[in-house]
Structure 1
Amino acid sequence: MTLIDKDWRFSFGHLYDTQKDFNHATGYFSYLTKTGFGDGPAAQNFDDRAWRKVDLPHDWAVEQSFSEKGSFSHGFKTAGKGFPEKSIGWYRKKINITESDKGQIISLKFDGVFRNSKVFFNGFYLGTEESGYNGFEYDVTAYVNYGGENTIVVRVDASMEEGWFYEGAGIYRHVYLQKANPIHVVTNGTYVTSEIQNDSAEVTAQVKIENKGNYKEGIEITQSILDAEGKQIATTSEKTAAPDFYKTANYTSKFKVKNPLLWDLEKPNLYRLITEIKQEGKSIDRYETTFGIRTINFDAEKGFFLNGKPVKLKGTNNHQDHAGIGTALPDELQYYRIKKLKEMGSNAYRCSHHPPTPELLDACDKLGMLVIDETRLMGINDYHLNDLKRMIERDRNHPSIFCWSVGNEEWNIEGGIVGERITNVMQGFAKTIDPTRPVTVGISSGFKSGISSVVEIMGYNYLGNGDIDAHRNQFKQQPGMGTEEGSTFATRGIYFDDEAKHYKSAYDKKPRPSFYSIEEGWKFYAERSYLAGMFIWTGFDYRGEPTPYGWPSVTSYFGMMDVCGFPKDNVFYLKSWWGNTPVLHIMPHWNWGGMEDKEIDVWVHSNCDEVELFLNKKSLGKKKMELNSHLEWKVKYASGTLEAIGYKNGKKVVSETKKTTGIAENIKLTVDKENISNANVSVVTVETTDKKGLHVPTANPEITFSIKGGKILGVGNGNPTSLEKDQFIDNVELVAITNFEEKKLASANASQLSSDNDNSWKEAFKDRDYKNQAPAYVYRGKFELSNNLKTNAVNFFYKKIGIDAVVFVNGNKIAPSTEDNQKYVLNSNVLNQGTNTIQIIAPPLQKVKDWDVMNTDPGIIQVITPAESWKRKLFNGFAQIIIQKDENAAEVVLSATANGLNTGTLIKK
């Protein structure tokens, strides 16, 4: 399997204007009428040279500006719903497949495209995938041009939203080219389970094998288990008959693993199952499956157990976007985000509300994070059950997953018989695919009837929405957990509400009558052993749902961390009671110039027995910490040092200070410790310090960035009302040639413009008699240029309408470029602001067959407007920049500048 994320071409189409959608699906025969008749960009020979180059994963929504007319759900980005010119995206990629690959099964594997994607290969329509969250695969074997070039085309329609949260747009997950023997393990075709008995584990490995060839003899299936060091610890082999042509067959192997290293939260031990298919003694297919050995169990009285030990679920809900990059997360960011949650003390993650990327689950497997995996929509027909089946079959070997969720807050059906029926079907259906894990549904419209009565694991969404204790007393055999809880509002680094600025204070307060603070929520679940734990809404802020506000707020306020992963103060409350190490955190900062002698609420989050607070070395008193609580002082502001000392068993164990800082003088760049070492993608924290090197928590300067040896992927700062750009990329505009006319020439050798302006011009190619053409034609047309001619790069990509063409722009003869003889670079000295004239002289193309379709499109004008420099304001002292090192670079150098500040530089090898 080969990753093919690099070097795609991208352009916007149009939702309903077929001309702006490159005349796709307008041919006499459409791609649904006759096989291989993909037209417009779906055609193999379509000219995409003027399109923008992109690498995957790619989210075109995050690249757009903000507008009040944009979708509330999608963070007011000017893409998708309501923006027909930014709702259709076309992707094209050319790949070579060798002659030696004949006899292999060639397929394309997509991990996810948002959304409603149509895929073509060499002009052949492969299929449509409506959901933006499903992985899918297409067999292209029959359509391959072996020994030559092949074209992959994807049309993405992101005009409709699936969720009510930011979902991005485009091919935002990985794409692979797969080559396999006709007899092979199907994608997601293994299923590994285990039972632990005393000091050993019995591992059962099921494998589904497919035969897309005519081989009818016997095969041998060999399976081996490797430990983390790659040492083989068990193996088995079976000779059997191959499946029939285009049929599948299932095979089962059993292993004994002595003294297995169990997968758990602290030591997430993993094994690998290697499945090989042999034909006449020769290996023809190899499939690798990562798995873990562990036990899970819910108890209606005592909660959740992992490997026989009680584990209180300390979870968070999360969407899949991140500051600066939207949904197009590099793999390294998945690990970064899970590490941030682990550092907070979290041990569980709910995929809200759709199947995640495979890489997120890999990160949870490797780092030790339990997962609720959730399907997108409830229902009992193929659309719903097939989505559920694909999710479970793809993900069921991940030891991190301990529960399947088949729905979330389906208010229309939660409380009635329809909800019961659907849940019973989906729950039973899930068990046929994976009987080892329970099923849950997140429920928010009361906990009295309907889904609540039949779901295996009760998912309570918000204790304010019903009487949890009463429901539990009615259904004492039904385990339960808080699938969503908390739902508070906070803006990082803000300590007074400011309704005009849409800022919410970071003090943990009850946000509204039916919702509870983070502390209130955790206390409720922590005190009840029958509740397995809770999942906070949310771990990270996300785009969209800027509740309780609207425009110009563009991100949520719910997160324990902001969209960058910078912690809000609630992180330290949770770290105190979810973690095992001493914690001491003072809030707020201590820069309150102008508020001298006014009382400031000072809170301390800690898990110490007692905490003493000092202001400028004067004790403000020692207080005893209650379990799962925090401490508060009223402190009259005076500049200087606020210090807290934490005691356990009467002994000082930890201290923390907040100091009044000087003005910002320096820019500091730091690679976050949660980054994977030696990774190509790094998350960099940007901040300012005073002359003593202290972080300035109130600084908000605009920082400008430059980079060598790499590229910048995105910038952010966690400000929920920031309308700054996430990405600074060159703008590629395609300008059509209009009013295209022609005039016959008497000589095929003509190469000079005639100065006459007679009436012999007519619409180009109209009623052309291809059997009686002139020796040559001169064509003319117009194109419009709006601004910035000197800074823009303007190119004419000629599409062949004749032989040996000669091109003139505004009367100036233009030579073709050396890199491409059908590309013409148009320098600013030959261009006009506004209307420009292009003329082409060429002998005509001749039809070989009467039914040949002749090209009548002269080409396209490409205008590249260079991007501004990358920049971002700090927000309450912080910003974030995500960088990627070039593949062949020895190091990447990031520089940051701002007026009045010393430059910051970061060098990463």
Structure 2
Amino acid sequence: MRRLSLLGLLILTLSPLCLRATEARVIQNIDFDWYFYPADIQGCEMDNSRFLSWRKVDVPHDYSIEGTYDQKNGRENGFLPGGGVVWYKKELEWNPLWEGKKVFIEFDGAYMNSTVWLNGYKLGFYPNGYLGFSYDLTPYLVKGTNVLSVRLDNSRLPSARWYSGIGIYRHVNLVTTDPVHIARFGTCIRAEEISTESARICIETEVNSPEACEVPIKLISVIRDSRGREVGRSQRNGQISCYQLTSFDTICVENPRLWSPDTPECYYMESFVEKEGKIVDNYTTRFGIRRLEYIPEKGFRLNDIPTKMKGVCLHQNMGAVGTALAEDIWHKRLIQLKKMGCNAIRTSHYPYAPEFYAMCDTLGFMVIDEPWDGWFHWYGCHKVPYDYSNDFLDWWEKDLPDFIKRDRNCPSVVMWSLGNEVWGYDRHMYLQYKMNKIFHDMDPTRPTTQAYCTDLYIDIAGFNANGECKGDISDFHKKQPLKLAVGTEIPHTRQTRGVYRTIGTRKPWDKDEVLNEHDAARVFPLTSFTTEEVFDGIDTRYASSYDNQTRRISVREQWKQTRDNDFFIGQFVWTGFDYLGESWGWPGRTNNYGIIDLAGFEKDHYYLYQSLWSDEPMVHVLPHWTHPGKEGVEIPVVVYTNGDAAELFYNGKSLGRKDMHRDSLQIVWNVPYRPGTIKAVAYKDGRVIASCSHKTAGKAYSLKLTADRKTMKSNRKDVVFVTVDVTDKKGNFVPYANVDVDFEVKGDYKLIGVENGDVLDIAPHKVLHRKTFNGKALLILQATDNAGRLRIQAKSPGLKSSSVEINVI
């Protein structure tokens, strides 16, 4: 995101045309200083006499995450409170620049059933909790103080199958334009005839006017690369009639830099509207130049290169944060996935915030973009009773085009999804046909898929659990050899950070899944390293971090299916991160499907996927080497590496060197446990490429604080993650340490929350206290508008404290 800000400054510096245009369209962020009330008040939209005593908040804001976990709150929301009605109000002082202009308010997302008023005038109602919406404020603004009122209604529960939160949880902006202006999402940019020498950029621009009579304008289009250099320009005269003009133009870009996950080169088109010799509007659109080819039997090619989608599904919530994710949080999560080798994300099961797509464009992720979970309610659809499906039939034909317009210029979006596990969709094929047609009419450049759907109108078959058994993928290909497929949600494996079991299990939660004889014959075999469990006595709701706790197929078996079948173009693991909600039972806040836990700490599967997906040399050894009471017991030691061989050492003595095989995708030694140091060394073509080691830890002695940044800006937006590790006297990490930690923070800050990744820990988030889980905990702070220094100290009874300082400028 800093890159985008720098680009904006660069464009303004380089272009005189831009300097004149800055007075035309003004985008003002209004996230700060809202007033919040956590209950319903009859007639509140008309009563502005008392709200100044309400609690003051900044948005993005999620009220649910501030609450207390309670079994009565329900499993869908992770046992956090989510129901009820809340109000927000904000004062907008009259701006002289608004005279003779149009003023719009744009909400990027508010959950849910929002009604908005300005000065008591109702602007509208919008049920969708995930897609942004906009209103024209112009007719209701007064010179003086204006009061904006927002009512959100999530009183009927459950309204989602996962944690939804409640609040204005995304950004809010005021947009001021000339009466003649480019429409919201009013540009459509497509790259055609792409080669290394040139690309033809086709531009469609929609311009609005309040007048029915003809209005002559000139439309100027300027394309700049990511460094701010102009690479193409055109202008076209036009006449607005009947309130609207749609203009078409083309620009040739020479020697285009093609977008891909490895080279995420973006271009920016500045569109200017000139009327009577004056620039009256400007609009910037980010896009990319890349060639997508989906070839039956051969697979997916990006810029002529055969490419597998190494993807994850995500939910937008995070443990201590809820749904109100600041840009720094999104950025940290995406960088973490990037380092794992992930190159694709599925937005399960709703539209994400605009900044997410901006980061995917500029960091390099391919996206399957999904507008909703199910469609409307019918018998057997198995969705929750009060989600968007209640309003689907009234709203989908408006929301779907808005969704497509919003995201169609993003180079990261490579496929559209019609929905997720729409049980019984075959009884409503007219609806699938209509959706598919809208997607293709509005965007003929991308294919469609549908999760857990293999036939009929979609272009690419989508596999969830229906692709995890023996023969599922191969049988599909025999029946439909000319249709490509993608693993839209596959595989489903469970793991808990720092927990290991040597005997494989299919426990989806605390009990084994009972399979009938037919299903038992179809699932892939489990990996068991021993006949008797080595790591006994562990709560069965925690899952094994070996690749041996799965529903139907392991990580390694699924990757072989993806790797070895050209028609199977990629997979999207369920899930990249543990997420709140969709619990399998109290007090579980979630299940353990994520590769990364609720605190953002990597599990061992992170390194397994890294060994399969990343080209950066790596090696990882598991489990840790602190197992008191297991002296002399053989422990399976597993190594993941993208090298071709690995060697294991105990206290410097080699225990043997073994090759990595395409079928096993892991190397295993059985090592009698003794305290000491275990080390794995990876080789490629006979050369050492990486090493990884674990030392046996003694008793917990000290806390160790690590901040992910040393400096923050005093902008009320920057976020710092402070990790707590428990160490022994020699500084070795203590992997079993579960100790109480109190934080003391000196300086101005906003507490985002505390977390430890333990799915069974139902302690509150908005406090300066947390217990470590398997040696780790997390504190998240946000800057205020005051500069200075933050001094953060962590204390635990009987342990040496630790501190860290952050400079706020």
Q: Shorter-chain-normalised TM-score: which range? A: 0.7 to 0.9
**Deviation by residue 1:117-155 (Cα, 9 ceiling, x = unmatched):** 111111111111101011100111111012x10111111
Which residue number corresponds to residue 391 of structure 1?
403
C-alpha contact 1:336 1:675 (8 A) present in aligned 2: no
Give the secondary-structure state (helix, strand or coil) at the position aligned to 1:472.
Answer: helix
Give the CA deviation at 1:724.
Answer: 1.0
Give the CA deviation at 1:198.
Answer: 4.9
Q: Distance in 1 between matches of 2:248 and 2:106?
A: 26
Give the CA deviation at 1:871.
Answer: 1.2
Give the secondary-structure state (helix, strand or coil) at the position aligned to 1:42.
Answer: coil
Which residue number corresponds to residue 240 of structure 1?
238
Of residues 277, 285, 290, the one that matches 1:281 is 277
C-alpha contact 1:335 1:676 (8 A) present in aligned 2: no
Of residues 484, 487, 491, the one that matches 2:489 is 484
C-alpha contact 1:335 1:675 (8 A) present in aligned 2: no
C-alpha contact 2:614 2:642 (8 A) present in aligned 1: no
Q: How does 1:132-281 map to 2 (within 5 A)?
A: 132-146=129-143, 148-160=144-156, 161-195=158-192, 196-213=194-211, 216-244=214-242, 247-281=243-277
Q: Distance in 2 between matches of 1:673 and 1:372?
A: 32
Which residue number corresponds to residue 474 of structure 1?
479
Q: Distance in 2 between matches of 1:110 and 1:285?
A: 21
Which residue number corresponds to residue 647 of structure 1?
683
**Deviation by residue 1:687-725 (Cα, 9 ceiling, x = unmatched):** 122232222222222222233232221111110101111
Give the secondary-structure state (helix, strand or coil) at the position aligned to 1:621.
Answer: strand
**Deviation by residue 1:171-221 (Cα, 9 ceiling, x = unmatched):** 111111111111111111111110114510000111111112577441111
Distance 1:652 1:676, change over 3 A: farther
Which residue number corresponds to residue 441 of structure 1?
450
Which residue number corresponds to residue 723 of structure 2?
685
Q: Distance in 1 between matches of 2:791 and 2:397?
A: 49
Q: Distance in 1 between matches of 2:649 and 2:66?
A: 48
Which residue number corresponds to residue 381 of structure 2?
none
Give the secondary-structure state (helix, strand or coil) at the position aligned to 1:577.
Answer: helix
Matched, 1:324 2:324: no
Which residue number corresponds to residue 619 of structure 1?
654
**Deviation by residue 1:856-900 (Cα, 9 ceiling, x = unmatched):** xxxxxxxxxxxxxx1111111111222212233144332222222
Which residue number corresponds to residue 510 of structure 2?
none
Which residue number corresponds to residue 435 of structure 2?
426
C-alpha contact 1:324 1:716 (8 A) present in aligned 2: yes
Query: TM-score scaled to structure 2, two decimals?
Result: 0.86
Of residues 390, 413, 433, the one that matches 1:401 is 413
**Deviation by residue 1:426-476 (Cα, 9 ceiling, x = unmatched):** 1111111111111110116xx5xxxx2331011111323672212212212
Which residue number corresponds to residue 899 of structure 1?
797
Of residues 848, 873, 880, the one that matches 2:778 is 880
**Deviation by residue 1:331-385 (Cα, 9 ceiling, x = unmatched):** 1111111111111110000000011111111110110010000011436945223
Q: CA RMSD in A?
A: 2.0
Matched, 1:503 2:542: yes
Matched, 1:5 2:31: yes
Q: Distance in 1 between matches of 2:302 and 2:402?
A: 26
One-letter amino acid of the structure 2 residue matched with residue 887 of structure 1: D
Q: Distance in 2 between matches of 1:472 and 1:674?
A: 53
Which residue number corresponds to residue 116 of structure 1?
113
Q: Distance in 2 between matches of 1:174 and 1:48?
A: 21
Q: Distance in 2 between matches of 1:613 and 1:337?
A: 32
Of residues 499, 504, 508, the one that matches 1:494 is 499
- Which structure 1 residue ranges, 5 or more long, are not aligned? 14-20, 25-38, 81-86, 729-869
Which residue number corresponds to residue 367 of structure 2?
371
One-letter amino acid of the structure 2 residue matched with residue 713 of structure 1: I
Distance 1:653 1:229, change over 3 A: closer
Which residue number corresponds to residue 573 of structure 2?
536
Of residues 588, 609, 615, the one that matches 1:574 is 609
Give the secondary-structure state (helix, strand or coil) at the position aligned to 2:441.
Answer: helix
C-alpha contact 1:665 1:690 (8 A) present in aligned 2: yes
One-letter amino acid of the structure 1 residue matched with residue 480 of structure 2: F
Give the secondary-structure state (helix, strand or coil) at the position aligned to 1:662.
Answer: coil
C-alpha contact 1:885 1:891 (8 A) present in aligned 2: no
- Structure 1 stretch 294-303 or stretch 340-349: which is displaced more? 294-303
Give the CA deviation at 1:11.
Answer: 1.1
- Which structure 2 residue ranges, 5 or more long, are not aligned? 1-26, 377-391, 502-535
Q: Percent identity?
A: 37
Which residue number corresponds to residue 781 of structure 1?
none
**Deviation by residue 1:805-853 (Cα, 9 ceiling, x = unmatched):** xxxxxxxxxxxxxxxxxxxxxxxxxxxxxxxxxxxxxxxxxxxxxxxxx
**Deviation by residue 1:97-119 (Cα, 9 ceiling, x = unmatched):** 22441211111110111111111
Name the count of aligned residue pairs. 723
Q: Distance in 2 between matches of 1:510 and 1:270?
A: 41
Q: Distance in 2 between matches of 1:675 and 1:392?
A: 38
- Highest Rg: 1 or 2? 1
Matched, 1:632 2:688: no
One-letter amino acid of the structure 2 residue matched with residue 505 of structure 1: S
One-letter amino acid of the structure 2 residue matched with residue 875 of structure 1: F
Give the CA deviation at 1:394.
Answer: 0.5
C-alpha contact 1:44 1:121 (8 A) present in aligned 2: no
C-alpha contact 1:210 1:243 (8 A) present in aligned 2: no
Distance 1:216 1:453, change over 3 A: closer
Give the CA deviation at 1:44.
Answer: 5.0
Q: Distance in 1 between matches of 2:96 and 2:670?
A: 78
Which residue number corresponds to residue 52 of structure 1?
55
C-alpha contact 1:710 1:889 (8 A) present in aligned 2: no
One-letter amino acid of the structure 2 residue matched with residue 873 of structure 1: K
Which residue number corresponds to residue 727 of structure 1?
766
Of residues 453, 456, 464, the one that matches 2:468 is 464
C-alpha contact 1:498 1:504 (8 A) present in aligned 2: no
C-alpha contact 2:421 2:452 (8 A) present in aligned 1: yes
Distance 1:677 1:212, change over 3 A: same
Q: Distance in 1 between matches of 2:326 and 2:148?
A: 22
Q: Distance in 1 between matches of 2:736 and 2:563?
A: 36
Q: Distance in 2 between matches of 1:541 and 1:719?
A: 10
Q: Distance in 1 between matches of 2:334 and 2:309?
A: 15
C-alpha contact 1:111 1:135 (8 A) present in aligned 2: yes
C-alpha contact 2:220 2:235 (8 A) present in aligned 1: yes
C-alpha contact 2:69 2:79 (8 A) present in aligned 1: yes
Query: TM-score scaled to structure 1, two decimals?
Result: 0.77
Q: Distance in 2 between matches of 1:473 and 1:145?
A: 67
**Deviation by residue 1:71-98 (Cα, 9 ceiling, x = unmatched):** 2111011232xxxxxx111111111022
Matched, 1:66 2:73: no
Q: Which has the higher helix share?
A: 2
Give the CA deviation at 1:583.
Answer: 1.7
Which residue number corresponds to residue 82 of structure 2?
79
One-letter amino acid of the structure 1 residue matched with residue 221 of structure 2: Q
Which residue number corresponds to residue 29 of structure 1?
none
Q: Distance in 1 between matches of 2:759 and 2:677?
A: 30
Matched, 1:526 2:524: no
Give the secondary-structure state (helix, strand or coil) at the position aligned to 1:453.
Answer: coil
**Deviation by residue 1:266-289 (Cα, 9 ceiling, x = unmatched):** 121111100111111111111111
C-alpha contact 1:336 1:676 (8 A) present in aligned 2: no
Q: Distance in 1 between matches of 2:618 and 2:762?
A: 35
Q: Distance in 2 between matches of 1:661 and 1:605?
A: 23
Give the secondary-structure state (helix, strand or coil) at the position aligned to 1:485.
Answer: coil
